[in-house]
Amino acid sequence: MGEAGQSREGESITPLLGGGTGNKVAVPPQQFNSLPAPNENASYINQATSYLGSYFSHSSVEYGGKDSCKSLSHPHELLRSTSGGDGDSPVSVCVSPGARCSTSSESPTSAANSPSAESTDTPSQASNAIVTSNWLGLSGTSMFQGLIERALRTVRGSADDIGWLQRDPEMPPVEDGTDRFNRILEDIGHGVHRLPNTVVHLLVPGLFSNHGPLYFVDTKTKFSKMGLACHIAKIHSESSVEKNAREIKEYIEELCWGSNKKVLLLGHSKGGIDAAAALSLYWPDLKDKVAGLVLAQSPYGGSPIATDILREGQLGGYVNMKKIMEIMIFKVIKGDIQALEDLTYERRKQFLKNHPLPQELATVSFLTEASISPAALATFSHVAQAELPLTKLPVVMPLGAAMAACAQLLQVRYGEKSDGLVTCCDAEVPGSVVVRPKRKLDHAWMVYSSLNEAPLEADAAQVCEALLTLLVQVEEEKQRQLD
C-alpha cells in the first residue's frame, strides 16, 4: 500500500484546496467567506453548496471581466482564503468600486516570478471566481430562506386577518339582537306582521346574482302579497364596489322621488358591501332618503376565500387561480375581477379606513353558520326554472353541498365558523345590532330555496321580514337618541 499523497498508476490527482509545487498559489474554485476548508470533504461541501446557490440564483455573473466586481451587492467585501496545503499563504481579495480585483500574499514576487504563472488564469479572474462563488452561495441561501418564508405565509394564509374588525380598538362595539329577532320571527310564524308599508324595501343581490334568475325572487313575491313595496336592485353584481355604489345611490334617489318614502335596504353577501359603500360615499345626499341597512351574510371585514385566491404566496398562487378567475369573470360572465379583489382583507381595510359607515345610520348584521354534517352534502338548491310547453321544471344545483365543503375547509384550516364563504366574525358590522341564529344556514340559503326545506322552519322571506322589522325598531331607537 502506497502513501496517502501518492496516486495510483495511471491516475492524476488535482488538489482541491491548493497545494502544488514551488511558490505557485492555487486558488480554490469554490470557497465560503472566511471559512477555509480543512480537507477534501469540506471542499466537496463547498462545491455542492455553491452549485445549489447557482442553481437557485436568478442572476447571472460573468467570470473574468474587469467590471464584473461592480455588479456585486457588497463592493467593499474583503475575502480571505488559504492558498496552500499548509495554510501559510493567505490570499486576500479586495473588491472596490471602479478598480480591478487583485490578489496579494505574503510573498507577492514569488508568484509573479514563477515560470508557470503566465499559463494560469489571471489574478483578477481567480478573484472574480471566488467572489462569484461566494455571492452565489449567499444567493442560494437567500433563495432558500425565501422559499421557507413563502411556505410559512401559505400555511398562515388569512389567519392574521380574520376577525380584524373585532380586534380593532377604534371600532364601535356591537349589540346582540338575536333574542329580539327570534321573538319577531316567532310572531311572523303566527301571522303577526309588523313591517310598515310607509317605506320602500330595496333588496341588493350579491356576487353572480345576474346569473341566478331566482335570486331574491321568492322574498319579493311574498312581500308584494303583503302589500309592501319591494324592489330588487338591478345592478351588475360582478362590478366593483364603487361602481355598484353609484348605481345603488341612483336607485335610492329614484325610489324616493317616485314614492316620497324612505328606503330600507337589505343587502346579501357582496350586495351588503355595495349598499354600505353607497351610504358611506354618498351619505350627505342619502341621509334623508334611507331609514336603515341590513347586511346579511356580508363579508364586511373581508373574505378569506377571496384573499386566499388572489393574494400572492397563498394557495391560489400555486395554481394561478387569479388568472383563472380573471378569465372566468371577465371573459365568461363579462364582469370585473375587481369585484372579487374588493372583498379581500387588504381592500376592505383600506376602504373602511377612508369610508366608514355613518354612526347615525341604523344597521343590522346577520351572520350564520353552515352545517358540515353528511346530510348537508346531499342538499340541492332551486336556482332557476326550465319552462317547457306544458310544465316548468326546477333547475337545481348542489349549492348546499358546496357550502358545506367550504365551511369544513375554513373550519379545519383556520378554526373559524362560517356560512361556507364568510366567516362569522367578519360578518359582524361594528356598531350594528348583530343577529346570530342557532339554526344552521349556509350562504346560499338566504336567496335560493332548498328542495328539502323543513316545513316547520321559517323560510328566507320570513327571515328577511324579521330582519327588516328589527331594523325599523333600531332606527326608531336611533331617532329617539338623536332627538
Domains annotated on the chain, with CATH: 164-368+419-480 (3.40.50.1820)
Q: For residue 31, give the C-alpha cell.
A: 470557497
Distance CA 364, CA 452 (A): 29
pLDDT in tens, the chain (483 residues): 444 444 444 444 444 444 444 444 444 444 444 444 445 545 555 554 454 444 444 433 343 443 444 443 443 343 334 444 444 444 444 434 444 444 444 444 444 444 444 444 555 555 555 555 565 566 667 766 766 666 666 667 888 999 999 999 999 999 999 999 999 999 999 999 999 999 999 999 998 776 667 789 889 999 999 999 999 998 888 889 999 999 999 999 999 998 999 999 999 999 999 999 999 999 999 999 999 999 999 999 999 988 888 876 655 555 555 566 555 555 555 566 788 899 999 999 999 999 999 999 999 999 999 988 877 666 666 565 555 566 666 666 667 788 888 999 899 999 999 999 999 999 999 999 999 999 999 998 887 765 556 667 899 999 999 999 999 999 999 888 887
CB neighbours of residue 4 within 10 Å: 5
262-268, strands of its sheet edge to edge:
175-176, 433-435, 363-366, 290-296, 262-268, 199-204, 230-232
Distance CA 202, CA 248 (A): 9
CB neighbours of residue 160 within 10 Å: 10
| CA distance to 62, 299, 339, per residue, from 269 (Å) | 56, 7, 12
Answer for the pair 198, 468: CB distance below 8 angstroms, yes or no: no
Distance CA 261, CA 132 (A): 76
pLDDT at 169: 92
pLDDT at 447: 77
Scanning the structure block, which residue is given the C-alpha cell 505574503? 106
Answer for the pair 209, 232: CB distance below 8 angstroms, yes or no: no
If we measure between CA atoms, which residue out of 464, 470, 466 comes closest to residue 215? 464
Q: For residue 166, give the C-alpha cell.
A: 373585532
Half-sphere exposure of 436 (CA within 13 A, CB side): 14
Q: For residue 66, give the C-alpha cell.
A: 474587469
Answer for the pair 233, 203: CB distance below 8 angstroms, yes or no: yes
Answer for the pair 201, 291: CB distance below 8 angstroms, yes or no: no
Distance CA 473, CA 388 (A): 45
If we measure between CA atoms, which residue out of 370, 357, 359, 351 comes closest to residue 446? 370
b or e along 47-69 (b: 16 or more beta carbons within 10 Å of the residue's beta carbon)?
bebbebbbebbeeebeeeeeebb
Answer for the pair 279, 361: CB distance below 8 angstroms, yes or no: yes
- Secondary structure string (H, E, C) spanning 234-261: CCCCCCCHHHHHHHHHHHHHHHHHHHCC
Distance CA 126, CA 88 (A): 19
In one-letter notation, the amino acid at residue 472 is V
| 365: three-class secondary structure by DSSP | strand
Answer for the pair 279, 290: CB distance below 8 angstroms, yes or no: yes
pLDDT digits over 110-145, tens only? Answer: 444 444 444 445 555 555 555 555 655 666 677 667
The vertex-67 CA angle with 65 and 71, nearest 5°, equals: 115
64 conformational bin, left if phi > 0, alpha if psi -120 to 50, beta if neither? left
pLDDT at 383: 60
Q: What's the residue count for the chain?
A: 483
Answer for the pair 295, 357: CB distance below 8 angstroms, yes or no: no
Answer for the pair 14, 80: CB distance below 8 angstroms, yes or no: no
Query: Helix %, strand %, coil % for the chain, to 5?
Result: 45, 15, 45
- Secondary structure string (H, E, C) spanning 93-150: EECCCCCCCEEECCCHHHHHHCCCHHHCCCHHHHHHHHHHHHHHHHHHHHHHHHHHHH
